[in-house]
Structure 1
Amino acid sequence: MDVVRLDAVSKVYGKGQGAVAALREVSVGIPRGSFTAVMGPSGSGKSTFLHCAAGLDVPSSGSVRLGGTKLSGMGEDELTELRRKRVGFVFQAFNLVPALDVVENVTLPLRLAGARVDRGRLEEILRRVGLEGRAGHRPAQLSGGQQQRVAIARALVTRPEVVFGDEPTGALDTMTARDVLRLLREVVQSMGQSVVMVTHDPLAAAYADTVLFLADGRIVDAMTGPTPEKVAERMTRLGAWT
C-alpha cells in the first residue's frame, strides 16, 4: 500500500483573475518504506505539494490519503491529531525550542499528545542519530548538523507513517548536509521509515530512491536510481538553471 496517495489534486490560491494554480491535477503514490525527493524550479509547486500531502493544507480539489485514511472532509482538529500521531516533519529551520534540552525537544510531540515516553525507544533513536552523548544539551550548545539530528529524532519518536522534509539540508554546509542525508537514508533502510523530501539540491536528491520533478504545478517526470549528474541535467531541461 502507498503511504501517501494524491489523486487529481489541485490547489488554487486566490479567486477570479488573481487566482494562481499552485498544483494542477497531481496524481501520484508514494510507496511505503521509500525515500522520495521532490524537485522543481522556484514556483513549481514543491512546497504546496508537501503541504497538501502532509495535511498542512487542504486541496482545492482531488483527494489525499495517508495510508488508508482520506484527509478530505476532516476538520482542523482531526487533521492536527493525525499529523501529531502519524506524520513527522523536518524543516530547514530546525524549529527547536531553545529552552529545552535534546531529550525534551525530541519528546515534545509525545508530551503534546499526552502519550507515554518509551525510554527504550528514545535511547535507541538518540543512538541512531548520533546524539547519545548530547541528551542534556540545549540547541545553543549544538552545531547546526546536531540540531537537525535532534529534529530528525523528534520526527521519528512518534513512530510516524511518513516523515516529510522541507529543504532539511538547506541551512547546512556540504559536509554536514551529507551526514544528515546519510542519516535519512539509513532510517529508510534500517527502520523501514518512509521519507518525502522537498529539495533544490541534486546532491540531496541523489540519496532518494525516486525523484519527482514538478513544473508549473504538475509532475512532469520521475527518476529512479538518481545521480547528481542525471538530476542536474533534468533540472536544466526544466529551465530551472538556464
Structure 2
Amino acid sequence: MTVGTQTAAMRLDSVTKTYGEGDNAVTALRGISLEVPRGTFTAVMGPSGSGKSTFLHCIAGLDQPTTGRVFLGDTELSGLKEAQLTAVRRERIGYVFQAYNLMSALTVRQNITLVARLADMAVDEAWLRELLTRVGMSEYVDRRPGQLSGGQQQRVAIARALATRPDALLADEPTGALDTRTSQEVLKLFRQVVDEIGQTVLMVTHDPVAASYADTVLFLADGQLAGRLYKPSPAEVAEHMTHLGDW
C-alpha cells in the first residue's frame, strides 16, 4: 500500500547505499522505495546485516544515499547541504536510542528542553507540561538521570525527542535495555503519541512483541524490502522473520 505524497511523513525513492569501492564495496541498501504515512507507527525488522541501521541513518539524514532520494515531508534531505541538514535534524526529527543519551549533569527539565535551547528556540511551557504529564515524569523535573530508573530515563528521552514537535520520531531499539514490563510501558507511550497527537513514529527493533504495537511492520533482508504486515500479532511477526532467510 502506498499513500499520496501529501500525507507521507517520510519517503524513499529508489535508495541504494554502497560503502567502499571496487572489490571492497558493500551494498547495504538496494533500491528501496517506500512511504511512511503521517500519524502512523511503523516498525522495521530484519536479521543482522539486513540494512536496518543504514535504512534508519538514511531516512534520518544522518547518512546520504549513494543513489536515490530521501524526503522528510516535501523536503528532499538528499539534496541539502550539511548546515541545512543539521537544522532539519535538530528541529524536525526526534531521536530515541537504546542508550538514553541523557546529559548526566542536567535535570529532567533541562534534558528535555536541551535541543530547543541549543537551537535558540523558545521553550513552549504548555507543551513541556503536557509532555511531562504524558511520559509520567511531572514529579521528577528536578532530578538528574542518575536518580532515575532505566525506564524513567527512556521516558525523558522520548519527551526530549518530542519537545520540538518533530515531523517524525525515529527510535533505534528503544526497548533493548529495558525489562519486559518497562518495555511495554514505553511501547504504549509510543502508541499513545501516535493515536492521540498524530505523531509519526518509525522504530527499528528485533523484538516481535515490540513490532506488534505498530500499525505496519516493514521487513528488510539483504538490503531490500522483503514484505510488510499490517497490525500483526507477535506470532505473525516471528513467523515472517523465520522465512526471511529464504531471501
> Which TM-score tier does this pair reach, normalised by the shorter chain?
over 0.9
Query: Structure 2-normalised TM-score?
Result: 0.96
Give the alignment partner of residue 140 of structure 2, picking from 134, 154, 175: 134
Gaps of 5+ in 2: 1-6
Q: Partners in 2 of 1:124 and 1:71 — Cα distance?
A: 30
Indicate which of 129, 134, 147 corresponds to 1:123.
129
Residue 71 of structure 1, CA deviation: 1.1
Does the residue aligned with 1:11 lie in a helix, a strand or coil?
A: strand
Which one-letter code corresponds to 2:226 in the other structure?
Answer: V
How far, CA to CA, are the matches of 1:6 and 1:96 in structure 2? Answer: 30
SS in 2 for 1:133: helix
After TM superposition, give the deviation of residue 226 of structure 1 in Å: 1.0
Counterpart Cα distance in 1 of 2:156 and 2:245: 36
Give the distance between the partners of 2:104 and 2:216, measured in 1 at CA.
Answer: 35
Task: Indicate whether 1:28 and 2:34 are aligned.
Answer: yes
Q: Within 5 Å, give how 1:96-111 maps onto structure 2.
A: 96-111=102-117
TM-score (norm 1): 0.98
Look up the match of 2:198.
192
CA deviation after TM superposition for structure 1 residue 72, in Å: 1.7
Counting matched residue pairs gives 240
Matches within 5 A, 1:161-176: 161-176=167-182
Q: Which residue is 1:85 aligned to?
A: 91
Secondary structure in 2 matching 1:72: helix
The CA deviation at 1:73 is: 2.1
Letter in 1 for 2:98: Q
Distance 1:169 1:72 in 2: 29
Work out whether residues 42 and 201 of structure 2, in 8 Å CA contact, stay in contact via their aligned partners in 1. yes
SS in 2 for 1:55: coil
Partner Cα distance (2:163, 2:121) in 1: 11
Q: Which runs of 4+ in 1 moved over 3 A?
A: none
Q: CA deviation at 1:147?
A: 0.2
* Percent of paired sites with the same residue: 61
Alignment pair present for 1:95 and 2:101: yes
Among 4, 19, 23, the alignment partner of 2:10 is 4
Give yes or no for the alignment of 1:43 onto 2:43: no
Distance in 2 between residues matched to 1:209 and 1:73, nearest whole Å: 30
2:4 corresponds to: none
Specify the code of the residue in structure 2 equivalent to 1:106: I
Task: Name structure 1 gaps, 5 residues minimum.
Answer: none
Say yes or no: does 1:150 pair with 2:162: no
Structure 2: how far apart are the matches of 1:112 and 1:75?
20
- Per-residue CA deviations over 1:119-145 (Å, capped at 9, x if unaligned) read 111011000010000100100000000
SS at match of 1:47: helix
User: Which amino acid in structure 2 is aligned with residue 234 of structure 1?
Assistant: H
Where 1:239 maps in the other structure, the secondary structure is helix
- Contact 2:226 2:244 (8 Å CA) reproduced: no
Residue 212 of structure 2 aligns to which amino acid in structure 1? Answer: A
In structure 2, the residue corresponding to 1:232 is in which secondary structure? helix
1:219 deviates by 0.4
